[in-house]
A and B are shown apart, each in its own frame.
Chain A
Amino acid sequence: MEYVNPLTGFRVDGRRPNEMRQLKAEVGVVARADGSALFEMGNTRVIAAVYGPREIQNKGQQVNNKEALVRCEYRMAEFSTGDRRRKPKGDRRSTEISLVIRQTMEASILTDLMPRSQIDIFVQVLQADGGTRSACINAATLALADAGIPMRDIVTSCSAGYLCSTPLLDLNYVEDSAGGPDVTVGILAKMDKVTLLQMDAKLPMDTFESVMGLAIEGCKAIATYIREVLLENTKRLEYQRG
């Protein structure tokens, strides 16, 4: 199947190879959470809720006395994919993604400012169309910023792949299930540091560099957008408050 049209250069959904899907973010969607966000990358919609810093519920989980405990839970809604999912939470993929998101966010949160407390991040995928991992990380960043948890930097994430000899940015579900490599990169936007790097399938080294470079550019674009959204939100709250 041709994922990139050789004549026009368009992908299956009409994008160019280095074009991202449309982004949309909304902050403060869950009323009871300390911070929450809804993030959309094309058809992938993800909602994140952050609770914290609050007292540690389970003393056994506390490893380090001097730092906050960051917990993350990723789940997909049963209706998020084409076929109704049977086990949205306990399966291996969800556990792995929860761990990945937790490690990514932990790299950015200034945990030593909040010792003996825990921060819970709950991410739920409402619509899955490829790139759910990235959307979850972006949503979690927004939610953490909304909750007022100090962070080193904005963490953004994007995926890129390599199909039909072209690096493609921001794969959707069709392209993702094509069997080609899928590189997911998460960076600290301003500090230019990589906190997450995952890939499945195989890639030769130089191609990998170009694909990863493309993904990092996508991350930076998302970071600009997220920054705008947060700034807008802060300004709005401030002028409404009076």
Chain B
Amino acid sequence: MRDLNLSLNQTQRVRLEAALHELQSLVPAAASAAAVTVADTIPVNQEDNILKYISLSQENTIKEDTISLFVCADGLVWCRGHGTSDQDGEVVATLCGVVERVNKLVYVRTLRARYKPEVGDIIVGRVIERRRTAVDELNMRSIFVENDVICVSTILALSVEVDNCFIFCFSDFKSVFAYVVVLTHADTLRVINHQAEVRGFQHDGSLHLQARSEKYGKVHASSATLPVTFNVQFPTSLDITGYATVPLYHYQSVPFYASNLAFMNCKNVLLQLERGQLLTVPPYLVKRKKQHFHHLAQYDVDLILGCNGFIWVGEHVLVGENVKTTEDQQKYEADNFTPLETRKHICRLANAIRVLSALGFTLTVELIIETAEASVSSNVEVNDMLGAEFYVQTAEREAKRRAALLRKKNGGR
């Protein structure tokens, strides 16, 4: 969401302008000069003669924005990356954004563009379509899952009905890592990190995935109640052989390191979450970090920052809990409602995220927690957090924080 539709009165407007102005002044001049729009010439001047070639080409046939070598007028070789093009011997931008240079690579980083998936990203998604799978609006490549079973069956094995299936797939050489995030009709959010093999490419560019029998476990499409078996690949430090064909409901008893920093490298993660809010922010506000799953112990809340801009704030769920059958689950839900305090914390965090994204600040866990705590300490009601006053206060606070950070950085040198 872009705007909160605020109506600021005059003083608030003035304060907001002042805060934003201060933020602007904190940015070093070189950074603002690096902004570029379409058809702007990007200056490439000689700095050092060492050429470092960064290759983006992959072995598969999926077309990427290729990197190419560009020889500029004085004979030096540059690498022209994403967002640039060659016109009349000059490097010209094709996108609006900020010019980034890495050694000899020049590219343009966009801001508000669509999310571009990368291997290893944690994403959160919402289920939208059942049969055809992976109608991923973010990734242009559609993925075709054989018997559309991978996602559906996993859920069935846990006796939860699923309406839709959203598979998000990016390929990395031969194997494909599918980050399957499913939001079922009972609103349980599940993240499955599952490796499937690329069987081939369809004529229209979609990938044909399959979970094979010997290595990955066979998937049964005929009977809906059969448990699914598929292999999950552990990081090399663990031995996978014992879990070669594990029925899915046994999967949860597999040792699982929830807060492991190697989470992202761990290729099998099954995390079931319930009861929370799913928020949408512009993807550029979520930076790629080592850890995207955060458990905020002081609130007993899980916070997942998806790289695609979807953020989940919800009640904390312990991994590896018992599987509940449908009747048990209903009874369980009836008995254990989320306590009111936890719900308030969830709402505060969610509102903090909304305010921060409306202001356009990068979302980090610390910032979100700080904003939520500031709202508590200044006695702002949860629903007033989306009001004009808190909006302006957050902007001012952020300006002060960044100024302090800059001062510390400059003073520390």
Residues of A within 8 A of B (CB): 28, 31, 34-35, 53-55, 65, 110, 113-117, 145-154, 188-191, 227, 230-231, 233-242
The reply on B110 being an interface residue by CB < 8 A is yes
A191 and B94 CA atoms in complex are apart in Å by 13
A-B contact pairs, 29 of them (CB 8 A): A28-B2, A34-B112, A55-B135, A55-B142, A65-B205, A110-B94, A113-B63, A148-B97, A149-B95, A150-B94, A153-B38, A153-B39, A191-B39, A191-B87, A227-B37, A227-B39, A230-B37, A231-B96, A233-B96, A234-B36, A234-B96, A234-B111, A235-B35, A236-B24, A238-B111, A239-B24, A241-B285, A241-B361, A242-B23
Determine the chain A residues whose CB is within 8 A of the CB of B1 once the complex forms. Answer: 31
Q: Give min CB distance, A53 to chain B, whole Å.
A: 6
Q: Is the CB of B96 within 8 A of A145?
A: yes
Give the residue name and chain of the B residue nearest to A118 (CB): B140
Q: Give min CB distance, A32 to chain B, whole Å.
A: 8
Give the residue name and chain of the A residue nearest to B137 (CB): A54
Determine the chain A residues whose CB is within 8 A of the CB of B94 once the complex forms. Answer: 110, 150-152
Determine the chain B residues whose CB is within 8 A of the CB of A149 once the complex forms. Answer: 95, 113
Q: Give min CB distance, B85 to chain A, whole Å.
A: 7
The reply on B27 being an interface residue by CB < 8 A is yes
A65 and B27 CA atoms in complex are apart in Å by 44
Determine the chain B residues whose CB is within 8 A of the CB of A240 once the complex forms. Answer: 20, 23, 359-361
Q: Give min CB distance, B309 to chain A, whole Å.
A: 12
A188 and B398 CA atoms in complex are apart in Å by 41
Q: Give min CB distance, B212 to chain A, whole Å.
A: 27
Tell me if A's interface is mostly helix, strand, loop or mixed.
Answer: mixed
Name the one of B24, B38, B140 contacting A145, with C-beta atoms under 8 angstroms. B38
Q: Give min CB distance, A68 to chain B, whole Å.
A: 9
A151 and B92 CA atoms in complex are apart in Å by 10
Determine the chain A residues whose CB is within 8 A of the CB of B87 once the complex forms. Answer: 152, 191
Q: Give min CB distance, B18 to chain A, whole Å.
A: 14
Determine the chain B residues whose CB is within 8 A of the CB of A153 once the complex forms. Answer: 38-39
Name the one of A65, A115, A148, A188 contacting B114, with C-beta atoms under 8 angstroms. A148
Determine the chain A residues whose CB is within 8 A of the CB of B24 once the complex forms. Answer: 236, 239
Q: Is the CB of B137 within 8 A of A55?
A: yes
Q: Give min CB distance, B373 to chain A, whole Å.
A: 19
Q: Give min CB distance, B26 to chain A, whole Å.
A: 8
A61 and B362 CA atoms in complex are apart in Å by 39
Q: Is the CB of B204 within 8 A of A31?
A: no
Q: Give min CB distance, B354 to chain A, whole Å.
A: 12
Q: Give min CB distance, A188 to chain B, whole Å.
A: 8
Q: Is the CB of B2 within 8 A of A31?
A: yes
The 3 closest A-B pairs by CB, nearest first: A148-B113, A240-B360, A150-B94
Q: Is the CB of B114 within 8 A of A237?
A: no
Given A28-B2, A116-B140, A240-B359, CB of A150 within 8 Å of CB of B39:
no
Q: Give min CB distance, B407 to chain A, whole Å.
A: 15
